[in-house]
Amino acid sequence: MRFHFPLYSSSSFSLFSDFTFISSLPLIFSSSHFSPFISMAPAFEPLSPPHQEAEPQTATPHHADTVNNFGNDGQVVSKSKVTVVGSGNWGSVAAKLIASNTLKLNSFHDEVRMWVFEETLQTGEKLTDVINKTNENVKYLPGIKLGKNVIADPDLDNAVKDANMLVFVTPHQFMEGICKRLVGKVRGDVEAISLIKGMEVKMEGPCMISNLISEQLGINCSVLMGANIANEIAVEKFSEATVGYRDNREIVEQWVKLFSTPYFMVTPVQDVEGVELCGTLKNVVAIAAGFVDGLEMGNNTKAAIMRIGLREMRAFSKLLFSSVRDSTFFESCGVADVITTCLGGRNRKVAEAFARNGGKRSFDDLEAEMLQGQKLQGVSTAREVYEVLSHRGWLELFPLFATVHEICVGRLPPSAIVEYSEKKPRLSLLEDPACYQ
Ligand SMILES: NC(=O)c1ccc[n+]([C@@H]2O[C@H](COP(=O)([O-])OP(=O)(O)OC[C@H]3O[C@@H](n4cnc5c(N)ncnc54)[C@H](O)[C@@H]3O)[C@@H](O)[C@H]2O)c1
Ligand SMILES: *[C@@H]1O[C@H](CO)[C@@H](O)[C@H](O)[C@H]1NC(C)=O
Ligand SMILES: *[C@@H]1O[C@H](CO)[C@@H](O)[C@H](O)[C@H]1NC(C)=O
Ligand SMILES: *[C@@H]1O[C@H](CO)[C@@H](O)[C@H](O)[C@H]1NC(C)=O
């Protein structure tokens, strides 16, 4: 990759990252369609003079040393302290990315705390002790050094108490409990970001995880999603990610700085719901892709599943939140994450095994056997999406989402994944641009 795109090299990275940020923001703020392609273009044409495009306001980014605690009074306050809540496969990689940046950037404290759900390993040792001693998460990310400045902490309250930047990255089913425990325990000026894929369905309707965090803790929460299979980023293979934020450019700039490395390119998009729904819904598409693999149906079929899946993701997101932008689906969190998850992710893998077993072994069983403590999201998300669809009378509009759930619970055979079109869904609503207004 680096040979083709010289700007990815580490020596020129700071220019590149600043410039990506500066050049993409005005486009996003002007809500132009297909901003990803416009904002990406300069990356592939290094000769164009990027700064000319920037608005004067964004062309003078504030100095790193003065950006602290997000105070906008220009006063130098203390450096930002980051805590990562969660330490699974992706949580550990996120801690590694962040820890490499806090060492380099003045506006952050070097130390990164990582809350670890304590467990005792087969050797009899505590996981936190081993992480502290070896700088390695031997259970969820073996063989990768996290950085000496990552401190494992089994005490949730203690891990968050000094932080003003919280990175949430646990499997989604644990977040409600974690939020309850954190009420009143976090700093008043804390900002959060969620890397969590999944949602909770309540009586009132679907609740996204960032929203759960915001509401329970009374804090702002951005999201980071993308085509990010953790093990590939752990060995520093190039990838991209999308940060979805609500309205505060200063805060999103901090998040972009905290995560960006020469091999991890982060783009901000002003669409929290769109970015988060992409990250959540793509796991349902991945289950469908796994069925197709298990049934050995070939590459055309898989591509069709990805396309139909992406369309349903977009339609579902826009029906739930009218603010969701079409352009978000062309970012890393959209089409790119659908592709990588359908090719390589764990949801795909377990769904393939499910189909190969003719649906006779349950997902719980296969998850326990195949994932060594890692969690699947797609099956529970499919159930949650199905609840929303049936509750709102939208089942016919989303044949792929609905069929995935019915296969997962054994109501339909895996082969039904390519038969749903025969139900003649009322696709007109999905096609009709008016429903997106
Ligand atoms: N792994 C990836 O490639 C990847 C990539 C992008 C996003 N994500 C998302 O990141 C989130 C976290 O996934 P992960 O891969 O870091 O986790 P994981 O599935 O690898 O690990 C499970 C984690 O859950 C913890 N845990 C177990 N029981 C718990 C409990 N009762 N309370 C709290 N924690 C408990 C375990 O200690 C472990 O840290 C998920 O939403 C996932 O979708 C993962
Ligand atoms: C981890 O290391 C830090 C710093 O050395 C220490 O303060 C902390 O008690 C250690 N935690 C555990 C669980 O070993
Ligand atoms: C959330 O962010 C806004 C700026 O977008 C800020 O005014 C507000 O104080 C923040 N809320 C909290 C609880 O930090
Ligand atoms: C998809 O195409 C690749 C490359 O030709 C091939 O190796 C693979 O077997 C194909 N997959 C299926 C399921 O046919």
If you take atom 13 of ligand 3, which residue's CA is the nearest one? 219
- Are 125 and 164 within one domain? yes
| Cα–ligand 2 centroid distance for 121 (angstroms) | 17
- Among 234, 255, 270, identify where a domain stops: 270
Atom from ligand 1 closest to the CA of residue 375: 19
CATH of the domain at 236: 3.40.50.720
If you take atom 14 of ligand 2, which residue's CA is the nearest one? 129
- Does the residue 63 lie in any domain? no
- Does the residue 1 lie in any domain? no
CA-CA-CA-CA dihedral for 419, 348, 321, 168, to nearest 10 = 160
- Name the E strands within 176-249: 191-194, 199-202, 205-208, 220-225, 239-244
Answer whether 171 contacts ligand 1 (Cβ < 6 A): yes
Residue 83, H or E segment: strand 80-85
pLDDT for the residue numbered 378? 94
- Are 281 and 204 within one domain? no
Atom from ligand 2 closest to the CA of residue 116: 13
pLDDT in tens, 45-97: 333 333 333 333 433 333 333 344 454 554 555 799 999 999 999 999 999 99
- Does the residue 62 lie in any domain? no
Q: Which ligand is nearest to the CA of 333?
A: 1
Q: What is the DSSP letter of 136?
A: S
Average pLDDT on 336-346 reads 96
Residues whose CB falls within 8 Å of the CB of residue 125, separated by 6 or more in sequence, listed in order: none
- Are 84 and 20 within one domain? no
Answer whether 299 contacts ligand 4 (Cβ < 6 A): yes
Higher pLDDT, 422 or 271: 271
pTM, rounded to two decimals: 0.83
If you take atom 2 of ligand 4, which residue's CA is the nearest one? 299
- Among 270, 291, 309, identify where a domain stops: 270
| Cα–ligand 1 centroid distance for 374 (angstroms) | 6
- Are 262 and 301 within one domain? no
**Across all residues in the chain, what is the average pLDDT?**
83
Answer whether 87 contacts ligand 1 (Cβ < 6 A): yes
Handedness of CA 113, 115, 118, 123 (dihedral sign): negative
Answer whether 300 contacts ligand 4 (Cβ < 6 A): no
- Are 83 and 162 within one domain? yes
Average pLDDT on 284-301 reads 97
- Are 423 and 342 within one domain? yes
Answer whether 279 contacts ligand 1 (Cβ < 6 A): no
Atom from ligand 3 closest to the CA of residue 219: 13
Atom from ligand 2 closest to the CA of residue 154: 13
Average pLDDT on 309-319 reads 96
- Does the residue 367 lie in any domain? yes
| Cα–ligand 4 centroid distance for 298 (angstroms) | 6
| Cα–ligand 1 centroid distance for 21 (angstroms) | 29
Handedness of CA 403, 349, 368, 414 (dihedral sign): positive
Answer whether 123 contacts ligand 4 (Cβ < 6 A): no
In 3D, which of 385, 392, 340, 349 has the Cα closest to residue 367?
349
Could you tell me the pLDDT band of residue 373, with boundaries at 50, 70 and 90? confident
Number of domains composing the chain: 3
If you take atom 4 of ligand 2, which residue's CA is the nearest one? 151
Q: The domain containing residue 19 runs over which residues?
A: 6-57
| Cα–ligand 2 centroid distance for 90 (angstroms) | 22
- Are 31 and 140 within one domain? no
Tokens of 321: 């939140």
pLDDT in tens, 389-412: 999 999 999 999 999 999 999 999
- Does the residue 199 lie in any domain? yes
| Cα–ligand 3 centroid distance for 189 (angstroms) | 8
Contacts 24+ apart (CB under 8 A), 302-309: 302/342, 305/342, 305/400, 305/417, 306/338, 306/339, 306/342, 308/400, 309/281, 309/282, 309/284, 309/285, 309/338, 309/342, 309/400
Single-letter amino acid, residue 86: G
Residues whose CB falls within 8 Å of the CB of residue 353, separated by 6 or more in sequence, listed in order: 290, 294, 361, 366, 370
Cite the active site residues: 282
Q: Which ligand is nearest to the CA of 217?
A: 3
Single-letter amino acid, residue 348: R
CA-CA-CA-CA dihedral for 244, 83, 375, 96, to nearest 10 = 90
If you take atom 12 of ligand 3, which residue's CA is the nearest one? 219
- Does the residue 366 lie in any domain? yes
- Are 330 and 313 within one domain? yes
- Among 212, 240, 270, identify where a domain stops: 270
CATH of the domain at 377: 1.10.1040.10
- Are 147 and 131 within one domain? yes
239 has which bridge partners? Answer: 264
pLDDT in tens, 207-256: 899 999 999 999 999 999 999 999 999 999 999 999 999 999 999 999 99
Atom from ligand 4 closest to the CA of residue 297: 13
pLDDT for the residue numbered 375? 82
- Are 124 and 153 within one domain? yes
Higher pLDDT, 62 or 34: 62
Could you tell me the pLDDT band of residue 7, with boundaries at 50, 70 and 90? very low
pLDDT for the residue numbered 202? 72
- Does the residue 301 lie in any domain? yes
- Are 229 and 312 within one domain? no
Could you tell me the pLDDT band of residue 28, with boundaries at 50, 70 and 90? very low
- Does the residue 91 lie in any domain? yes
If you take atom 9 of ligand 2, which residue's CA is the nearest one? 153
Residues whose CB falls within 8 Å of the CB of residue 306, separated by 6 or more in sequence, listed in order: 285, 289, 338, 339, 342
- Are 289 and 186 within one domain? no
Is 159 within 8 Å of 114 (Cβ atoms)? yes
Is 247 within 8 Å of 342 (Cβ atoms)? no
| Cα–ligand 2 centroid distance for 154 (angstroms) | 9
CA-CA distance, 215 to 211, in Å (whole number)?
6
| Cα–ligand 1 centroid distance for 66 (angstroms) | 34
List, chain by chain if needed, residues with CB within 6 Å of any ligand 3 atom. Answer: 218-220, 247-248
Atom from ligand 3 closest to the CA of residue 247: 5
Q: Which ligand is nearest to the CA of 155?
A: 2
Q: Which ligand is nearest to the CA of 69?
A: 3
Average pLDDT on 104-129 reads 97
Tokens of 214: 């915001």
Residues whose CB falls within 8 Å of the CB of residue 298, separated by 6 or more in sequence, listed in order: 292
